[in-house]
Copies of this chain bind each other. A is one copy, B any other.
């Protein structure tokens, strides 16, 4: 049946524009060309300058043959060039693949090969590991050095240098949103629970909506001064390169999130917002009194990865920093769940406030739905705060899928929900709370470590009969990997030797901090009982 609304009211270029973060840069550069876009050491660049550099980057990429659906990788800490890549790369139609700077050459080579990177932008400090990764590739991509004066050590290994590359580009390069808002904008590899890393693909639409929802759910004022304490390679910095740009804010860059540098930036630049794993908060509250002095009020910090402990919340608030607890995964563009705070909770004692704030919460305003389900029946668990199920998410702030991995993509979307792999409960008031991290993931200093990947390394050791790796709670890092190893009969081994063996095969942050030799507890069907090991790990000194 047709209605009067079915005809003569079609989409056209006046009333329909694909959603894209590129529109955010265009508007901010138009309205606020003179405002400071980035601060990095002594470098200050306005939005007009930043937009011009992004145009040049896009144009130079296009002139080198990069276009629709090509992957451009970047290995960098939180520097202005990384902000620029968030716009310049998609302006060229390409997809930004942010590399985890803590990975080893093998994992990087896997990523570059699987993602088919045609260009690699690399900060000088990481030239060693990137050169080693490139050496493993069959085809060498175009390599562009970022020669940041603040970077320590390393060599120039590229075919050209970032500034010279920008010179190749047209400062008036014309850009606009993509033809289709479903087009890929970013590719982020996650250490999955099963074998190889998975390449999570983001769309322009999803990046746009999450970036806006960040601003809405944080109730961000205009012109935030945003300190880059969260790695920009984590889920595209939780989409904040786009959010801060949309709000005509200032990106305050920081190569390393160290306490003194954080407090200095807060004091010097009037920082209003920052994000980071709990380790960043611990670092801040444990800093010397002299560091923490006089940072002012009205600062807000968004944290994820673990519930912020009461003592930390109290100390942060005493410093004038409000703490917002969010939850997400790479597959959902970073945070898309927020512990939405109710004014009536303000009056509670700090322990109770911390208990409220420890909950992961409710969907972002622009995320559609969040629930906890029995993963087999796909029925919601009772909202009793007790029954454990899997956390499931659906909406526009969910990845397109895993690159070149249709089987895992389909599995992860079973029943029309994204299966987070995290276990939690639904409270009677509709807030979710994680009760058990996805069993195979260890989060250390904000980095995900796949226990399976560590176990695979352990199994390569000739003395190891069986191995299981679990998270051990750690005051500084949140969690660290703890290995339980069953040795082959009659063979002995030492903890140091096992750890050294792992370090040859894995990035250092992934290696077990502790190795315990035991007979592994198993079920009647022979499955290792990780929950027992987690209890044991907790009890270890």
Contact = CB atoms under 8 A, between A and B. Distances in A.
Contact of A15 (B10, B16, B398): B398
B4 A401 contact: no
B394 A13 contact: yes
A417 interface: yes
A219 interface: yes
B396 A16 contact: yes
A221 B396 CA distance: 23
Contacts of A19: 396
Nearest to A114: B4
B9 A413 contact: no
Contacts of A409: 8-9
Contacts of A12: 413, 416
Given A212-B366, A221-B219, A362-B31, A201 B16 contact: no
Given A27-B363, A27-B365, A394 B3 contact: no
A7 B399 CA distance: 14
Contacts of A30: 362, 430
B14 A398 contact: yes
A433 interface: no
A184 B5 contact: yes
A159 to B, nearest CB: 23
Contact of A362 (B27, B221, B394): B27
Interface in A385-441: 393-396, 398-401, 403-406, 409, 413, 416-418, 430
Nearest to A69: B3
A343 B400 contact: no
Given A4-B403, A69-B3, A221-B219, A368 B17 contact: yes
Interface string A95-106: 100000000000
B396 A365 contact: no
Given A14-B394, A16-B396, A116-B4, A9 B223 contact: no
A494 interface: no
A182 interface: yes
Contacts of A23: 368
- Taking chain A's interface residues, is the majority helix, strand, or loop, or is none over half, making it mixed? loop
Nearest to A95: B5
B405 A8 contact: yes
A354 interface: no
Contacts of A9: 184, 201, 400-401, 403, 409
Interface in A18-72: 19, 23-24, 27, 30-32, 68-71
A6 interface: yes
Q: What number of copies of this chain does the assembly contain?
A: 2
Interface in A102-160: 116
A246 interface: yes
A200 to B, nearest CB: 10
A403 B27 contact: no
Among A1, A5, A201, A223, chain B packs the most CB atoms within 10 A around the CB of: A5
B201 A15 contact: no
Contact of A3 (B3, B70, B399, B400): B70
A383 to B, nearest CB: 11
Contact of A246 (B27, B216, B221): B216
B116 A403 contact: no
A254 to B, nearest CB: 25
A221 B343 CA distance: 12
Contacts of A247: 216
B4 A69 contact: yes
Please provide the 10 A-B residue pairs with the shortest distance between their CB atoms, ordered closest to farther. A3-B69, A8-B406, A13-B416, A15-B398, A9-B400, A5-B184, A14-B413, A9-B401, A17-B368, A31-B362
Interface of A: 1-17, 19, 23-24, 27, 30-32, 68-71, 95, 116, 177, 182-184, 201, 206, 212, 215-216, 219-223, 246-247, 340, 342-343, 362-363, 365-366, 368, 393-396, 398-401, 403-406, 409, 413, 416-418, 430
16 contacts: A1-B68, A3-B68, A8-B404, A8-B406, A8-B409, A10-B400, A11-B182, A14-B394, A14-B413, A15-B413, A17-B368, A19-B396, A24-B365, A212-B212, A215-B216, A219-B222
